[in-house]
Structure 1
Amino acid sequence: MTALPVCPDSVAGGDDTFARWLAERTGDLLLRVRVTGLEGSALANAGDAAAHDLLIELFARYRPHDAVLSEEGRDDRARTAAHRVWIVDPVDGTREFSEPPRQDWAVHVALWEGGNLVAGAVALPAAGITYATDIPPRVAARTPGPLRIAVSRSRPPAFVAELAGELGAELVPMGSAGVKAISVVRNLTDAYVHAGGQYEWDSAAPVAVARAAGLHTSRADGSPLRYNQADVLLPDLLVCRPEVAQQISSFIRSRKDPMPAD
């Protein structure tokens, strides 16, 4: 069994720095799993399991009194009464992870405390980049030209095409939910609008980072995002530059038909 990484006291002492460290160490492990010779679903399953197990062991060592909500773990509803809950997606974009050399997959680590997201990190291991709340990202001035909206590379929902037409925007296909949300932080896009099918672990860490960067985050219709709920389904999401939030959420609210899944 590989020895657990040792977290320096100076890092473990802060939730923001610890979130970054967790995401990066998990990313390191996933990169090692990616070169074991496994392919397809076997690689995807091995990555999910290895990343989840590492995170759970590290929480047990460094945050033994905190609750954990992980995509790959059993949901203990006792967490809803906890004051501190780590919300993690060990591999966000498992399909992209299982298709080397794709880079559009991520590791999500977020901390919910007393009703709010207070720390978060999104690692993009294959790109060697991590965005976290310990060093809030600075979003560059918007690139001139049409608005850019991040969408699923394989199944962009029809309503986003309608939104793009309404705003004169262009659609930018890419992989995982975290990569799409962080694309706004990176000034690769101006907005990410998600239509459905997500859970709390898909958005918690990207939302924490986006908020630290000064971006708008909400449900697609502009209503608040709520985490550590008994039902972890959080079906829609808007991450965007503040100046376009009202336009987008108003369009969403004007639709009479339900939004399809992304």
Structure 2
Amino acid sequence: MGFRLHQVDPFVGGMLMQPASARFIHDFITISAAAPEELTTIANVMPAPPMPFVPAEWHNKLVVMSFVCYAGGGDAAERAIAPLRKLATPIVDMVKPMPYAQIYPPEDDSYHPIGTGRNMLVDAIDKRSAESMIEYLSSSPATFSVAQLRVLRGAVARVPDDATAYAHRRRFAMINIGNLVQSVEELTAIKPWVDTFEKAIQRGPEAAYVNFLMDEGPERVRRAYPAGTYERLMKVKRQYDPTNLFRLNQNIPPST
């Protein structure tokens, strides 16, 4: 197996926090979709956390906390990121030149929240989708809820759909709905809210990205693959693991 490495120095990235509104969400996604391929964004629509770097007057108010990454530097990086900054005056702006590895800070091994998530792939994030995000996140029954938006494009979309197990390469964006609760019992109670939120923003056929699935059952695993891809994976499973020994995963059984 061979890997192709790409130099990403210089690199400009970091967190940008701005007030959330339906128009802001729609415009942020539109700009991200049209941006140079060197620019990648992840937008988290969520209540602002009560952390020291967030002004107190914004604590728990709905914001878009985005992570911006530009593989390059100088004027090109500034030109690519500027339209996002101009959408609304930043509450927090931590975007700066940095080593690529610093974009992912160390995780706190002692933090074990109780949560649930729902992953989905969509063909659009339109104005009504953005309005629904504001509506649902403003009335969430969970302790904390977030909608994470990732525009999909670039080199990933240029690979043929049947080249690998990941075959949803033409979808416009990935959305993750995440929730934190106080007890395991609340996970069941919050499911109807998650279901209706998902339906409100689903555009196109239902599908998911397997690496973001939780323990959601075999039907959700099937959604991670188009029918033809799933059949090919079952064939591989029958050949190399006919007894389904390796089953403690997002499992594809040897047969239906």
TM-score normalized with structure 1 length: 0.29
Structure with larger Rg: 2
Q: Which has the higher helix share?
A: 1
Answer 1 or 2: higher relative contact order, Cα 8 Å, separation at least 6: 2
TM-score normalized with structure 2 length: 0.30
